A and B are shown apart, each in its own frame.
Chain A
Amino acid sequence: GNSVTQMEGPVTLSEEAFLTINCTYTATGYPSLFWYVQYPGEGLQLLLKATKADDKGSNKGFEATYRKETTSFHLEKGSVQVSDSAVYFCALTANTGNQFYFGTGTSLTVIP
């Protein structure tokens, strides 16, 4: 079946620290992989995506590389800001359908 596992939170970092949020997946076929971000009181917003192995998605300083050999899509940012405080969701959609499978979300708090 299809599923996503992401690291438990909450994560608290100081401003300018390096961020990694781990995400691994199980999927039938060749999924597309996504990271979504949810700021307080808002809906989820697409942060970045990758549609095939070895693709790197990037946006707003965040990056994630689709690693088929390790079935992973870890989110990274070199220097976090207070404004990055949010909940981050890893997700996949399998090429056999249109349904998304979301991880449980990882809460990030960045302190000045």
Chain B
Amino acid sequence: DAGVIQSPRHEVTEMGQEVTLRCKPISGHNSLFWYRQTMMRGLELLIYFNNNVPIDDSGMPEDRFSAKMPNASFSTLKIQPSEPRDSAVYFCASNLGGGQGYTFGSGTRLTVV
């Protein structure tokens, strides 16, 4: 298995632009998580899905952020419009559930200028 695949690895965009981050979880994993990591706030859970259904989106910072999981093999995190304070590394992770460990992707480093 190729693991959790995220794209792009790096994204630089101008303030106000729409940004879409993509994630392909490990086949067979039924839970998917989006995290944001910054030096100031550390690792923050944004949203997670079980069986493609959003379970907890209380970590999504603002309405500018949205996430979808149209099927078991794909999820997107969208920021519209983007702001400089959104600059961070965004991680996707998946697991089988039942207390099993997460597998993280390599992350997308987003820079909003």
Contact = CB atoms under 8 A, between A and B. Distances in A.
Interface residues of A, number: 19
Interface stretch (A16-24, A43-51, A66-74, A76-84): A43-51
Nearest to A43: B104
Contact of B42 (A36, A43, A105): A105
Given A42-B106, A44-B104, A98 B50 contact: yes
A95 B106 contact: no
A5 B56 CA distance: 22
Nearest to B48: A99
Size range of the chain B interface in the assembly: 20 to 34
Contacts of A45: 104
Contacts of A36: 102, 104
Contacts of A32: 99
* Interface secondary structure of A, over-half rule: strand
A84 B50 CA distance: 34
B55 to A, nearest CB: 8
A93 interface: yes
Nearest to A30: B99
Given A34-B101, A46-B102, A98-B97, A105 B43 contact: yes
A104 interface: yes
Of listed B4, B42, B43, B103, residue having the most chain A CB within 10 A = B43
Given A36-B102, A98-B48, A100-B102, 20 more contacts: A42-B106, A42-B107, A43-B91, A43-B105, A43-B107, A44-B104, A46-B101, A46-B102, A46-B103, A49-B101, A89-B43, A93-B99, A98-B31, A98-B97, A98-B98, A99-B45, A99-B56, A102-B42, A102-B43, A105-B42
